[in-house]
């Protein structure tokens, strides 16, 4: 049986996801995604959607990418620290990110969590996002990376310092 290869999109906190870099222009992000085989599918204000909305970018008012997010899909593999984000149990991926963050202790929250030193966000751990019917554990519904402005916005919502 012929099987299409899925690209690996590496999540690198403070840098980007796959070919898209934080701080890149919206036009550069669109071109980088096009070269990866995922052209722009739709746009809404400051947000661009690719690959069936499995990857999105958000830009600031000046047109620079400040946030990138991936969601479960069978069209690409998202990897964080060499782990497939959507094939790794949510709590295990959380512990891995916590061990790298270096900002003190972290307590798992299945709803959402942002690691401050990596500006790495994880949302809604649930079994429904697990793409394999053979594995019955929750995975994250979305994982994203942001820049300093994103960290400041999150801190403002949570009442913590960025």
Contact 108, 94 (CB under 8 A): yes
Side-chain-side CA neighbours of 152 within 13 Å: the count stands at 4
**Mean pLDDT in runs of 10 for the chain (162 residues)?**
74 98 98 95 97 96 96 95 95 97 95 96 91 79 96 79 60
Could you state, in order of their start, the residue ranges of all structural domains in the chain? 8-158
Structure tokens, 37: 């085989």
pTM: 0.92
Q: Among 83, 82, 59, which Cα is nearest to 147's?
A: 59
């Amino acid at each position: 049986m012929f099987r299409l290869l899925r690209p690996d999109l590496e999540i690198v906190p403070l840098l980007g996801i796959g070919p898209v870099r934080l701080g890149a222009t919206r036009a550069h992000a669109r071109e980088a995604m096009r070269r990866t085989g995922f052209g722009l599918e739709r746009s809404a204000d400051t947000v661009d959607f690719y690959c069936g909305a499995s990857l999105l970018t958000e830009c600031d008012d000046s047109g620079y990418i400040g946030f990138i997010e991936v969601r479960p899909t069978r069209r690409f593999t998202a990897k964080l620290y060499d782990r497939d984000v959507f094939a790794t149990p949510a709590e295990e991926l959380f512990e891995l990110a916590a061990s790298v963050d270096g900002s003190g202790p972290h307590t798992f929250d299945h709803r959402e969590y942002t690691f401050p030193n990596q500006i790495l966000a994880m949302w809604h751990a649930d079994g429904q996002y697990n793409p394999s019917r053979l594995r019955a554990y929750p995975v994250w519904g979305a994982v994203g990376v942001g820049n300093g402005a994103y960290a400041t916005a999150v801190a403002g919502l949570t009442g913590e310092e960025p």
